[in-house]
Structure 1
Amino acid sequence: MTIRAIIAGCGGYLPERVVTNDGLAEAFGIETSDAWIRERTGIGQRHIAAPGETASGMGAAAARRALERAGLPGAAVDLVVVATATPDSAFPSTAVRIQAAIGSTSGFAFDVGAACTGFVYALGVADAMIRTGQARCALVIGTEVFSRILDWTDRGTCVLFGDGAGAVVLVAEEGRGDASDRGILSTHLHSDGRFGDILHVDGGAGSTGGIGLLRMAGKEVFRHAVTKLAAVVDEALAANGLAQSDVRWLIPHQANARIIDAMGKKLGLPKERVVVTVDRHANTSAASIPLALAEAAGKGLIERGDLMVLEGIGGGLTWGAALARF
């Protein structure tokens, strides 16, 4: 028998404050228009963290909701992996702060830094640790406060991002060892540091302050996104002997509506089988995939046994995909 990491629960958290495209001028002095942003990105609004909100606080809120849906107490968790580019501090990790907040006193916790691909990376790490018996119950969290590292004078980047957190609970279960199993079937991770400068922060960063602002060469990132995401999804399907027609849901990183639409068409999926939150959440970096998953699962859209593709690309460049059966 094969040990699989089963998705037992999903949860999300979004800050209360919502800033629409039209509200950007009033909130931050951004000279832009709703039509200009929607046409290029599909974004209509974003959530912005309150002054006292941090990556750990939002991540803990998402984690509690995921645990509640899994029917598990925080004490059952023996691994916490947090994907974030906006940690509370250089150390201790955001993960250990969340570990304490949920009441987990055993096991271990650490952060993963892979920008917008961070959740897929964290999922891969947690899956590997469950498969090898180092953990039995893992929390995988993406949490970001990107509003603190944006250059609010740069219209080309600041309109793209929002704040939020998403979490999944993984538990170890026995499977048959083939593609019919529930849980994480495989993860496929890549990076190419030659392109690190096309999406980066020009200094340190932290959700409680910090120095450094996000810089992005948007056209270059877009060009890499379409080709690399298509290739890694094909890689994941081939590794499991599956075809595009087997995929029930695409849960992509929510960076840009055009990229999401292109990937849906690549898989031959109707629009109703592609989970889209970018219009309401904007790009929440490592939090975007678990937030989208939590929303779809919370609405009862994803049914037990449905095959899902989770994929994303981010600064590094990093990119990756995961195949999972709900």
Structure 2
Amino acid sequence: MTAQTSQTATAPLFHLAGTGAALPGPPVDNTVMDEVFHLSEEWIDAFVGTRTRHFGWDPVTGAATHSLADLCAEAAVRALDAAGLEPAELDFLVLTTATPDTLLPTTATAVADRLGLNHLPAYQLQGGCAGAVQALDVARALLAGGHRIGLVVGGDVTARFLDAGRDVAGLSSQELVNYVLFGDGAGAAVVSAEPLGEGVAVRSLLNRFTGLGRPAGQIVDWHGAARPDPDRLMMFEDYKAIEAQVPALAGEILWELLESTGWRAEELDFLLPPQLSGRMTQRIVEGLYAPAAREVSCVAETGNTGNALPLLQLDRLLPEMTPGAKAVSVVVESSKWIKAGLTLEKPREDQ
């Protein structure tokens, strides 16, 4: 067991002072998906279980309406407002995404510019569903190194990977599923070394690559002006492998996180499960033992927003936490199999 997963709950790693979320435009329901892409509402509901999603582009014309920087800056402002802080009080920014607006300059620096930040570290991580936890891990190290307050932002947009004008009838199932799984959005969290604002303590954090020798469950491609193989898929999802492996991985993560804090499953007040899709989340929750925990999920309304998802869940969680409440966030990234998660507690006044 690594040092990160063996830390006890005697002292918080850091605190969440405030969170924020940003979703572009009105929700796009399955009726619209049927009209635009000719994907039946019944099939989407039975296979994926996602009712609505938000796009930073017009699904009819394909025209972009929101950039990743737009969404990340909006979520960041809301997180700062929730924490009662000004941008000038931040010591660092960490942004994570699989779909940056440009390779250079980084979206992290674009967001820093929009927030009026200068003369501070602005990091960008390339990640998938576990990216938010990876960014929080970087923030943990920065806070441990002497910084006081920082901002973590995660988000994704799908405009360059899903073609509004394409006839999807001929697509393979590995590519077609991406049209119904994903949505766009961003989430943000203000983190602090000492309790501020919401003052939710992060007791332990799991961030571990576990994909040695295992085929990737998802591939998101990219290319420049030259594309030597025009038949390469831009997005590939091995949904069957994900269905087979994610529930078991989620169970392993839950028990590792409980062990790291010395908590019992019966003590949990909230469970934040992996958010691949509505149907998959339902299956995972049914297999996890947390008998008193209330589920905190958003994927059925937001679609799979990648790097934003754990932060969107935290944004829903924090207002619900009362003193003494305990929560576990379980995150699985299937791109090359990463285990991630958090244990969180709202301290009582006497703690």
TM-score (norm 2): 0.81
Q: What are the residue-to-residue correspondences of 1:33-182 with 2, within 5 Å?
A: 33-50=40-57, 51-133=64-146, 135-150=147-162, 153=168, 154=171, 155-173=176-194, 182=200
Q: Give the 3-state SS of the residue equivalent to 1:194 in structure 2.
A: coil
2:343 paired with 1:323: yes
Residues 163-214 of structure 1: CA deviation (Å, up to 9, x unaligned): 000111111117xxxxxx9511111112215335330113249xxxxx9721
Where in structure 2 are there 5+ consecutive unaligned residues?
1-9, 58-63, 225-231, 347-351
Q: 1:232 aligns with which of 253, 271, 278?
A: 253
Residues 209-253 of structure 1: CA deviation (Å, up to 9, x unaligned): xx9721111010122211112112211111111111122111233
**Alpha carbons of structure 1 residues 234 and 21: separation in structure 2 relative to 1, 3 Å:** same
Q: C-alpha displacement at 1:319, in angstroms?
A: 2.6
1:184 equivalent in structure 2: 202
Q: C-alpha displacement at 1:19, in angstroms?
A: 1.6
Q: Give the 3-state SS of the residue equivalent to 1:22 in structure 2.
A: helix
Q: Compare 53-62 and 97-106 and name the one that shifted more.
A: 97-106
2-side partners of 1:260 and 1:108: how far apart?
36
Q: 1:313 aligns with which of 307, 315, 332?
A: 332
Q: Compare 286-295 and 72-81 and name the one that shifted more.
A: 286-295
Kindly tell me the number of residue pairs found equivalent between the two proteins. 309
Q: C-alpha displacement at 1:107, in angstroms?
A: 2.3
2-side partners of 1:90 and 1:71: how far apart?
32
Q: Select the structure that is richer in strand.
A: 1
2:301 equivalent in structure 1: 280
2-side partners of 1:12 and 1:90: how far apart?
24
2:213 equivalent in structure 1: 194
**Alpha carbons of structure 1 residues 81 and 252: separation in structure 2 relative to 1, 3 Å:** farther
Structure of higher CA gyration radius: 2
**Alpha carbons of structure 1 residues 172 and 46: separation in structure 2 relative to 1, 3 Å:** same
Amino acid at match of 1:241: G
Identity %: 28
**Alpha carbons of structure 1 residues 17 and 213: separation in structure 2 relative to 1, 3 Å:** farther
Q: C-alpha displacement at 1:13, in angstroms?
A: 0.3
Q: Compare 211-220 and 40-49 and name the one that shifted more.
A: 211-220
Amino acid at match of 2:162: L
2-side partners of 1:160 and 1:99: how far apart?
30
TM-score (norm 1): 0.87
2:44 paired with 1:22: no
Q: C-alpha displacement at 1:258, in angstroms?
A: 3.6
Q: C-alpha displacement at 1:124, in angstroms?
A: 1.5
Q: Compare 234-243 and 6-15 and name the one that shifted more.
A: 234-243
**Alpha carbons of structure 1 residues 214 and 279: separation in structure 2 relative to 1, 3 Å:** same
1:208 equivalent in structure 2: none
Q: C-alpha displacement at 1:259, in angstroms?
A: 3.4
Residues 136-184 of structure 1: CA deviation (Å, up to 9, x unaligned): 111111111024323662432211100000111111117xxxxxx9511
1-side partners of 2:267 and 2:49: how far apart?
28
Q: Give the 3-state SS of the residue equivalent to 1:23 in structure 2.
A: helix
Q: C-alpha displacement at 1:3, in angstroms?
A: 6.5
Contact 1:17 1:49 in 2 (8 A): no
How large is the Cα RMSD of the aligned pairs? Answer: 2.3
1-side partners of 2:75 and 2:337: how far apart?
27
2-side partners of 1:263 and 1:131: how far apart?
34
Contact 1:41 1:256 in 2 (8 A): yes
